[in-house]
Structure 1
């Protein structure tokens, strides 16, 4: 029996269970509750697109509207947004349960209106560009992890941002202001104290701080490039020397911030003991992350930095479809370690091995092979499983 699910007045998904199952399959994400999708559609910006038979997309319906595409919040393995398509019921509402990427939905329109194929192709390209521009203003572009998304939404509703919550917990005390300034300050009633929506775990803190450091490093690289270009252009030498001095001061400040963070980081002990990943790796080769992941590369680099690794210590092959041909065109022996995410069972040139995972773990001369598994046992690179994999790699490298 099909289960109807009301997104809002006049917008109904008439078989929500099949929609959720389908999105789980093509996204590889866990979805425990239909309310997550409803919350995303109703509370994020630019989630509704009214489509006519030529695939022209508008933000409001008109007399030519045939379909309503709802952004589910999830993306497929290639990063394409998964939309839910509902049909205009001619009574001012929209009902249905069809879903897929924009390309899949556009192909369905072509099958009903084949004479409009050229217009559909042109308008689809325009719609994709409009979509990317619109979602830039969202608080959360997509749902990477259902639980984390719902927590962040709760934080937003309670008036706390993640960064604000993190800063509040650092307990950094500044020197008292100059007495003369204190004397002229008007008395202000102390603001009412609020309990934070939740206590940020150490894992969340370390990932957030790691990503901040990663961003600062990228900015520092950019500054160095600009200074180099200014030198080539023959700019005023005195001005360049002043800029270089300020740049060195900034670099020193970053070193001191890192030192402060390390001295005040009290848990867990195994992370403190393993902050020399790059040195352990040495010249043995890089770490390969192979298979589809639930994280983007920047997040993984941020986590790895907490274990002392550098961005250049890693190579990523996270396109699920490309992994099929990977074993045939790459020598895994050149890597020091391999972290295995979601991999297809059938890949080329495996010989007698039943899977790439089995080959890595049982062939002599192969690199350290770590299964990145979620708590449920699923082969999946998550924040937790990636941390555990790095920890295990560090321990094994120490023993070599």
Structure 2
């Protein structure tokens, strides 16, 4: 702990920068570059929001202070981003669904940062999330001292977003209990929250300011945990966020994210691109249940997502930086084993079957990288 932190002084360095800070200059540039119509309360035009999230396709965007190429932050179909933006421009709630690790949360953060300048008005859904966390709570010291008042009210992130015309986010909404989810039904229909304890006082009813909207995320793996009611589903536009389809795009994303994770620690990222390509191929084989050659692969029950691939690539990079010696490729089997055993220990046998099947056939065809991986089969056991 630094002296500044121990003294309670603000710490400006962050392990992960929210998009509103990380891309602050770019957001300011786009706000000045596009003078088209904006929905009420929006910082950028819908067109600029799409450009911020999906990139400018290599074409420079002209602004008052020059030109700038906007790189994509979300790897996926541009049409998906456009549909999301149109939904939010109509002040309709948006639900992003998909397998774990498909960047649903990242997309919701990017959209929020571009639209209202903050992605921080978020509630993390869990089995322990209460209705108060979606609506409001109380500062009990003030409540006991003054009684119910606007000062003793503690607004939820959603109530704050309503009052300021901002974007609220609910992560993993299907992890919340059904009775908690139902608190959103009237909120999204009537666009107001009543506070009975403040009856007769200012603030007894909080109305949504223009621009307020809500983005929720849900994992397909959580289907059946806490099913959304039909009434709540009707209040959302559903968009499915699929895994990255393009191999080169996935390799580029894994490389970029892993490099950033290692370099944040002040270490160089030295993992060879061929190793990263091999890593992504293995993840795609196990994720889809079929190799690029068309060979059948037994899929593990664990999620072989791009996010997990990034974590493994970062681990290889950190090992090379801090514990030099072993070839990063030799460490890959152990890391893959750690990924597949997260949900079901029996998945270790499926990974071994992949080694003895598709991977061995590649090694026998003469590919150097796959031959080296085959030589480390013993890491997986029998």
TM-score scaled by length of structure 2: 0.28
Considering Cα pairs closer than 8 Å and 6+ residues apart, tell me whether 1 or 2 has the greater RCO: 2
TM-score scaled by length of structure 1: 0.27
Max Rg structure: 1
